[in-house]
């Protein structure tokens, strides 16, 4: 649920002021206590505050994230902030709710419902510089008024975005640790099936959860659609967000770096991008090691058939992948390229993983499942 952009395309389809926004996130490990992180990071570009009048959590009822925002009312639980039911988040700030008792199963959908409001009549809130994540692949619901405890959200405006929420911390058993997947839209799940949690980190989390030696490993998906490592792209670059999205997360023990295709596809007509990516990956590994985090690298998947593809860009991809396979800086390799590439063309991924017209960069759910299934789970036992 990492913060992404404050662009026009990120705006909600209906006003959030004096309305309830219900969003769904998918847990990976379970626990009896949790807290939720709320962000106004992009309010720094304006004078906008975020006013949360009330926030509740509840378990989704069945396919609640896909059907009128249905929750199990018996699990509805109010959140507090320093003991109060409401909070104002200043521009550029992030806040946590107080920890609360909540029976959160592993691998389940959690609803977070927020009722927004104003502080003063002359403060025009949030909503033209809003912190959001466009690639949620999960339906969110907006209805006028305070309906945070409603069992469903019929007639609500819907959007495939998350807003304001950027994380859920679970107080789990002492052996529980977290894995961060740092990536772009492939990690964010573009091409996967909405509301079914079929991104490759979702499939990996399910495998970890059902494998007894790794059942206590949480997966934190820090993929940003359109994200780049070095410069440009959508949202902050990986260089700029590494501390926030990796080092500042709770309980992190492992990191998978799978990012760079947007740098190559949109980069200069030289090998400079590839060599600079290697420098950045080395920096990521060194920073991770300084914080006792085990860092793995993943090879960049093929993009033949996509507009990114040129002979030079393929040379850059091969350069990066050769470094990934031979370097001694990272602690191990996840070879997504070898897993999904077409054995004949080598520059395309297999046709069975094609998500739809004019893409050949992202994959469908079958491709993402293949990626997750290729990962050796023993990497996350030390």
Q: Is residue 205 one of the residues assigned to a domain?
A: yes
Q: Looking at the structure, do residues 217 and 315 belong to the same domain, yes or no? A: yes
Range of the domain at 185: 173-380
Asked if residue 36 lies in contact with residue 55, where contact means CB atoms within 8 angstroms, the answer is yes
Measured distance CA(213)–CA(181) in Å, rounded: 20
* Number of structural domains in the chain: 2
Q: Is residue 263 one of the residues assigned to a domain?
A: yes
Q: Looking at the structure, do residues 151 and 226 belong to the same domain, yes or no? A: no
Measured distance CA(230)–CA(89) in Å, rounded: 30
Measured distance CA(198)–CA(192) in Å, rounded: 6
Token duo for residue 291: 């914080």
Q: Looking at the structure, do residues 292 and 359 belong to the same domain, yes or no? A: yes
* Last residue of one domain, picked from the residues 168, 183, 211: 168
* Last residue of one domain, picked from the residues 168, 183, 203: 168
Q: Looking at the structure, do residues 336 and 207 belong to the same domain, yes or no? A: yes
Q: Is residue 358 one of the residues assigned to a domain?
A: yes
Q: Which residues contact 357 (CB under 8 A, 6 or more apart)?
A: none
Q: Is residue 83 one of the residues assigned to a domain?
A: yes
Note if the pTM is more than 0.85.
Answer: yes
Q: Is residue 3 one of the residues assigned to a domain?
A: no
* Last residue of one domain, picked from the residues 168, 188, 209: 168
Q: Across the strands, what pairs with 15?
A: none
Q: Looking at the structure, do residues 286 and 326 belong to the same domain, yes or no? A: yes
Q: Looking at the structure, do residues 247 and 351 belong to the same domain, yes or no? A: yes
Q: Looking at the structure, do residues 131 and 151 belong to the same domain, yes or no? A: yes
The values of phi and psi at residue 240, to 5°, are -80, -25
Write the CATH number for 368: 3.40.50.1110
Q: Is residue 327 one of the residues assigned to a domain?
A: yes
Q: Looking at the structure, do residues 155 and 236 belong to the same domain, yes or no? A: no
Q: Is residue 1 one of the residues assigned to a domain?
A: no
Q: Looking at the structure, do residues 128 and 197 belong to the same domain, yes or no? A: no
pLDDT tens per residue, the chain (382 residues)?
665 555 566 788 988 999 999 999 999 999 999 999 999 988 765 567 899 999 999 999 976 666 789 999 999 999 999 999 999 999 889 999 999 999 999 999 999 999 999 644 334 444 456 889 998 999 999 999 999 999 999 999 999 999 999 999 999 888 899 999 999 999 999 999 999 999 999 999 999 999 999 999 999 999 999 999 999 888 899 999 999 999 999 999 999 999 999 999 998 778 999 999 999 999 999 999 999 999 999 999 999 999 999 999 999 999 999 999 999 999 999 999 999 999 999 999 999 999 999 899 999 999 999 999 999 999 999 8
Q: Looking at the structure, do residues 152 and 242 belong to the same domain, yes or no? A: no
Burial grade of 101 (CB within 10 A; 0-12, 13-18, 19 or more): exposed
Measured distance CA(183)–CA(160) in Å, rounded: 19
Collapsing DSSP states into helix, strand and coil, what is residue 179? strand
Q: Looking at the structure, do residues 136 and 181 belong to the same domain, yes or no? A: no
């Amino acid at each position: 649920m990492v913060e992404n952009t404050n662009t026009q395309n990120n705006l909600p389809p209906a006003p959030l002021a004096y309305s309830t926004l219900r969003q769904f996130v998918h847990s990976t490990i379970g626990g009896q206590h949790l807290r939720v992180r709320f962000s106004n990071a992009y309010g720094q570009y304006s004078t906008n505050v975020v006013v949360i009048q009330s926030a509740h959590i509840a378990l989704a009822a069945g396919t609640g994230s896909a059907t009128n925002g249905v929750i199990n009312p018996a699990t509805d639980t109010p959140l507090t902030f320093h003991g109060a039911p409401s909070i104002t988040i200043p521009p550029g700030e992030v806040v946590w709710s107080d920890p609360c008792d909540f029976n959160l199963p592993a691998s389940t959908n959690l609803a977070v419902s927020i009722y927004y409001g104003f502080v003063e009549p002359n403060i025009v809130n949030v909503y033209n510089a809003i912190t959001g994540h466009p690639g949620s692949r999960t339906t969110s619901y907006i209805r006028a008024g305070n309906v945070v405890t409603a069992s469903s959200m019929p007639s609500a405006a819907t959007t495939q975005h998350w807003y304001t929420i950027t994380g859920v911390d679970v107080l789990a058993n002492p052996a529980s640790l977290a894995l961060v997947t740092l990536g772009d839209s492939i990690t964010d799940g573009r091409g996967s099936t909405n509301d079914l949690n079929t991104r490759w980190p979702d499939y990996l989390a399910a495998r970890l959860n059902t494998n007894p030696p790794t059942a206590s490993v949480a997966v934190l998906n820090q993929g940003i659609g359109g994200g780049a490592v070095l410069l440009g792209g959508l949202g902050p670059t990986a260089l700029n967000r590494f501390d926030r999205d990796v080092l500042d997360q709770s309980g992190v023990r492992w990191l998978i770096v799978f990012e760079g295709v947007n740098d190559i596809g949109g980069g200069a007509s030289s090998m400079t991008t590839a060599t600079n990516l290697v420098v950045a990956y080395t920096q990521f590994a060194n920073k991770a090691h300084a914080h006792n985090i085990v860092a793995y690298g993943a090879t960049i998947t093929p993009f033949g058939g996509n507009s990114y593809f040129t002979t030079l860009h393929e040379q850059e991809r091969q350069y990066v992948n050769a470094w990934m396979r031979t370097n001694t800086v990272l602690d191990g390799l996840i070879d997504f390229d070898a897993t999904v590439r077409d054995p004949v063309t080598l520059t395309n991924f297999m046709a069975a993983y094609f998500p739809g017209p004019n893409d050949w960069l992202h994959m469908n759910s079958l491709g993402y499942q293949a990626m997750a299934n290729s990962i050796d789970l023993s990497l996350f036992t030390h």
